[in-house]
Structure formats: structure tokens, C-alpha cells
Structure 1
Amino acid sequence: MRAGFPCKLLFVCFFSFLFLLVVIVHQDAPRTLQLGLLAAPRAEPVSAEQLQGSPIFQWRGTEEEKAGDSMPVPVPSHPPASTRHPLQVIYPYSYHFLLNEPDKCRERAPFLVLLVVTEPKDIQVRNAIRQTWGNESAVPGVSMVRLFLTGVHPHYGSPLQRLLEEESALHRDIIQQDFLDTYNNLTLKTLMGMEWVSRHCPNASYVMKADSDVFLNVGFLVQELLQPQLPPKKDFMTGYIYRNTGPLRSKAYKWYVPREVYPNDTYPPYCGGPGYVLSGDLAKKVYGVAQTLRVINMEDSFMGICLYELGVSVTDSPWGLFNVGWLEYEKCRFSKLVVVHHFGPTDLLRVWPDFQGGNKTCPS
């Protein structure tokens, strides 16, 4: 027992020394050791230049919520590539037109410009739209211009590009810039359309942005909603309006928006992406203000952000004209609608002859 005493004493002294060493290090370098883990490095301060272009707003549904809100902390306008979130849209940027139709509005200013979002491979879809609601002569006496918006296919860019160029030479209705054609770049497609209107068709009365999988009743839109016999509206945008909504933070959703891309909890009011219409003057303003903002990967929500920055409100339309969901086709029902979502080319070609035919009288 007595022979083992020096060993025990040495053991206790050794661990006492280690304990004192840890205490000294902790005091000399505070916050570097936390439960055995290194603390994260402190972020660099954000400069005033980096903060420019960051929308700072918070929308809530009730006054009670507004009273308890605090302004969100803005994030840098353009983080370095090494820290940029993969979903962050790069804009403004000098994207180049690979296909363009700069002379479409040279002879006369159209009443309506149709901007249809498509993918490079959607040849069948574009042909179906040309034969149906995208026909530029669909409304007698009303000048219309149809354009398909597209980017570059992320995997089959070169082989599809040759086909796209042939299609463009035949129909003269495709515009394309050199960004990747992905779901998260839909905002870039719409901004390309706004840029085209601003540069090549600034005197258009109205602009309609539509997805390619919709049924669009252009006649009803023009005659009943836009009314060409009246002076064009100004600062006008309408569609299916979303209010008091916010970004989805779960990666399980197709519409996932991380806080690194959009830090606020709510969006300003905006029109649903399947189809909305805006005045020509507002299209130019949207393109201008977009150069000063952080662009997000939700195209329709970003349009609402642009309107907010411009101090313009969305305009309510009669309920039910713009449908973001599918409806079963019935001629008289569809004759009083503007947009119905989820209509592919096969369905569109199937119902269009009946919709255009005069074999059924609908109640007024």
C-alpha cells in the first residue's frame, strides 16, 4: 500500500496540471474552446456597397403581427462565388442574346406582346401554341406579337441549339440568352422578356407572360379585360393574386428558397406565374428596378418584389379569370376565363377546334 503511494500522488498531480493548463488557455483565448469544439470564424463586416440592392421589407397579414415585427438584417448583394448559395440567381449580368427578334415591333407598336416561357426541347409545345392561342391573328383588328423565351439546355446545349436555330429561322418567334435553362433560372427568362420589351418594343400597350402549359383565352383577355377601345392602363398588373405568403424553407419542396437567397419571412403581393398581364410601361420599369435588386429563384414572387420597390400595387381582376390549377374543359365555361393551368399540347390541340367553333351558343 505504501509503495504505491508515490504513483498515486504523481497521477493526481499530472491531471491537476492538465486542468490548470486548460483554464489558462481558455482565459487567454476566450470563445475558442466551447465544450471541446472550435467556434466558427467570425464573418467579415458587410460594407455599404455590398448592402446596396438588398430589398428590406417585411409583409404580414395582420396589424398585430406588424406591431411585433423587427426589420430583417440584409445580406450582401453579390456574395463571392465561394460563398454563394447554389440557388442564388446571378443578376444583373451581361447575358447575351443567342437568338433575337429585334425588328418585331419596328413597323407598328403592338397592343399585346405574348411572352411564353418554354424549354429548348419544347418543339411540340411551341407548335401547338402557334396553332392555338398563340396565333398572332387570334383577335381580329388587334396587333399582337408572340415570342417564346428560352435559355440553353444544361446537358444537350449544342445539338438542341442547331434545332432551335432552324426553328427560329422558320418562325422568327424565339428569343434566347446564354443562361442555363433550369427551373431556378425562370426569373432570368422573365427578365429577358422584360429586357426585350424595354429595348425593342417600348411602345407596346400590354405584355402577357404565360407558361407553356396553359390554356389562354386571348380574345376574352383583350376584349373584356384590356379593352383596346380605351386608353392603355398605366402601372397595371393583374392575374391570380397571392397575398400574405412567404418562402418555403424545406428542401423537400420544388419551391424551396433558403434564407441566404431571401432572408425575409414574407413576400409582397404578387401574381401567380402560370399567367399574368402587365402594362407596357410597367414592363420597362420592372426591368429597370431589377438591376438594383437581389434576384430570387421564384420568378412570380420576384415580380411582386419589383412592384413593391416601384411603389406599385397589383390590380385585382374579377375572381376566377386566372386559374393556377386545372379545370375540366367546357366551352361556355372556358369562354369566360383568361388562363387555365396544366394544359399540355395534346389537350390543347384536342379542345381548340371546339372552342373556336360556332356550334354552341353560350349564355351571355
Structure 2
Amino acid sequence: MTLYLRPSEPTALIQPYPFCQDPPFLLFVVLSAVKNTQERIAIRRSWGQWANTRVSGVSIDKIETSQDSKIPVSPFVHPTQLTRLIFLLGKSPGPVPLSESVLEESRLYEDMVIEDFIDSYTNLTLKTVFMLKWVHHNCPTVKFVMKVDDDIFVNALNLELSLLNETIARTPLLLGSLICGARPIHDQWSKWYTPKYMFREGKYPNYLSGTGYVVSGDIIEPLLKAALSTEYFHLEDVFLTGLCAKAIGVHAKDHIGFSYQPRAVSPCLYKEVIMGHKVAPPEMTRLWNMMNQPSRLAKCHSVQKSRLRSYGPTKCSWR
């Protein structure tokens, strides 16, 4: 890992600079692939507008989202803390690791970090540790970081309210959808295949779903150090929030607002939760537009707890 990560060297091929002059309360790091241009555009035009803007009793009618479009934003759904967002990418395999379109996108939006590694599913653990490295060197005083995939819709207001709740957000914190008692899959055709030589125990340590989770800023450096001294494991969520968290003595916490399953594209449902998975770009924009209709949201009834998430963490024990 150290050979590829080069922890003491600057390795970003492209990055916004300066980025954290004003320490953010919350930093979203969206892990994205080079080819996922439409996903990044959809996030910028939807829930990403909650980031890179600070509202403190000031009404905002419109926020510039591109050179040729403005999308209405309802002030009452905007966070009040300083919140930032970046996209983290690697290089494409093949003869052209960075296309001209990606370079132009990075110049236009100034919200992309491209690190020096080949972006692939098997390198997802490496990518996540690059996230820790970049945050440690560039945003060392950030309060919270949310690692999120680019097919996730986030209700940043609900997340902020949870992180301002001292009962929920007592640091050190790892917060998300907790998975307990999971066993390695030895079917070589599975996406989550784990050879027995890579993990010999019968169960994984308790960990958070990698679709989206929050890390408090005070454990970014300890997790980074643990990652560099822990044997590499290809499932990034098990590696970082399970193995590395265990190494530094931090227990991950479950929150019903996080889910690794898809949710119905319903503003009344997303009004109550923190994130939903597998939201396609058109759905992301449609959901954002619906959530910015106060009259529509006012008609929503309370959502039953069973509808917020169809599962909970299995009985968890910590050893």
C-alpha cells in the first residue's frame, strides 16, 4: 500500500487549490469513475448544491450551477454550516488515462481530485485510502467527512442535523449503515468474492456499508496510519470501517437514515432520511426538483420507521 500511496508525497494529478482555507464542518468526498460524467453533473445540479455554500439566516434564491443554467434552491432545505464537496477519481486504464473532457470538467468546476492510480473496482480500497491521505493533507481541521458513491442522493440538511446532535455525533465517529456478522463469500463468481487465503476468519468485523458513511475528522490520521500497517483487503468498507477501525479501537455506529438498498424516489421519504442508493442521474434531478417544492413537502405525512429502511443491523457484538 505504501508503495502506491506514497503517504508523505503530493500525488494528486489534479486538485482544487486552495480548498479548505475556511475549515468546513462537513466535507463530502464523492468517489467517482472517470467515465461517470453524467453522475457528477447530476450531483452538481441536485444535492451537491447543498455544498460549497454557506447559509446563515440569508435567503438564497438561486445558485449558479453551470455557465448556462440556474436551478432554484429552497433556503429552508439548505445547511447552515460550511459544507464542501469534491469528486475523487483515479486514472482510466488504457492509453489515455485522462481524457480532454475530464480535464476540461476539472477546470470548469474546480471540484475534482484526480489521484495517480488506475481506477478500478479492485483498487477501491486504495482509492478510499487516497481519500484519507488527501483530506489529511488538505483539510486537516475538517469536522466530519462523508465518503459517498456517485449513485447516492444525500439529504445534507438531515445529515447536518444529526452531526450537530451531540448524542449521535460524539467523536470519534464512524456513522452509517452498520453490518454485523457478515461472512466472507467464497463463490469466485461473486462481486464480493474473498479467497480464503485473504481472510481466514469466519466473520468480518462489524463494518459500515461503503455506499456512504461519515468519518469524524479526529480519526482521519489514525485510520490512515492503520491502513498503512494493515494487510491490504479488497473490500474497502470491510477494510476501512471494519479492520482499520478495529485497529484504532473505534466502533462504527448505525443510523437508520443510511441505507445500502435503493429507496423509492419519493420526496416524502427522502425528507426523512439521510441517503439513498442506486439513484440514476435523471432520478437525482427529479428528486431534487420535487424536494424544492415546499407546498409539496408540506403535504407529506410522517413515514413509518419500517419504510425508512427494510433492514437493521443484525445483533451486533464487539470483541
Q: Does the Cα contact within 8 Å between 1:102 and 1:200 map onto a contact in 2?
A: no
Structure 1 99/228 Cα, relative in aligned 2: closer, same or farther at 3 Å?
farther
**Match for residue 350 of structure 1?**
286
TM-score (norm 2): 0.79
In structure 2, distance between residues paired with 1:156 and 1:358: 49
Query: Does 2:175 align with 1:238?
Result: yes
Query: Does 2:253 align with 1:315?
Result: yes
Q: Does the Cα contact within 8 Å between 1:237 and 1:315 map onto a contact in 2?
A: yes
**Match for residue 273 of structure 2?**
337
Q: Which amino acid aligns with 2:91?
A: V
Query: Does 2:81 align with 1:145?
Result: no
Which aligned pairs between 1:68-87 and structure 2 lie closer than 5 A? none
In structure 2, distance between residues paired with 1:300 and 1:245: 12
Report the secondary structure of 2:288's partner residue: helix
Which aligned pairs between 1:1-20 and structure 2 lie closer than 5 A? none
> How far off its partner does 1:330 sit?
1.9
Structure 1 203/233 Cα, relative in aligned 2: closer, same or farther at 3 Å?
farther
Which aligned pairs between 1:67-146 and structure 2 lie closer than 5 A? 90-94=1-5, 96-106=11-21, 108-135=22-49, 136=51, 137=53, 139-146=78-85
Give per-residue Cα distances to partners, 1:313-338, cap 9 Å, x unaligned.
Answer: 11232x3x111111212222211111
**Match for residue 278 of structure 1?**
215
**Match for residue 147 of structure 2?**
209
Q: Does the Cα contact within 8 Å between 1:91 and 1:295 map onto a contact in 2?
A: no
Between the aligned residues of both structures, percent identity stands at 30
TM-score (norm 1): 0.70
In structure 2, distance between residues paired with 1:163 and 1:190: 24
Structure 1 322/229 Cα, relative in aligned 2: closer, same or farther at 3 Å?
closer
In structure 2, distance between residues paired with 1:102 and 1:265: 45
> How far off its partner does 1:216 sit?
1.0
In structure 1, distance between residues paired with 2:3 and 2:244: 14
Question: Which structure has the larger Rg?
Answer: 1
In structure 2, distance between residues paired with 1:157 and 1:295: 28
Q: Does the Cα contact within 8 Å between 1:205 and 1:232 map onto a contact in 2?
A: no
Q: Which amino acid aligns with 1:282?
A: I
Which structure 1 segments of 5+ residues have no match?
Answer: 1-89
Give per-residue Cα distances to partners, 1:183-227, cap 9 Å, x unaligned.
Answer: 11111111111111111101101000111111111111112x111
User: Superposition RMSD on alpha carbons, in Å?
Assistant: 2.0
> How far off its partner does 1:264 sit?
2.7
> How far off its partner does 1:346 sit?
1.2
In structure 1, distance between residues paired with 2:190 and 2:168: 43
**Match for residue 317 of structure 2?**
none
Which structure 2 segments of 5+ residues have no match?
Answer: 54-76, 303-319
Query: Does 2:235 align with 1:298?
Result: yes
Report the secondary structure of 1:322's partner residue: coil
Query: Does 2:117 align with 1:179?
Result: yes
The number of equivalent residue pairs is: 270
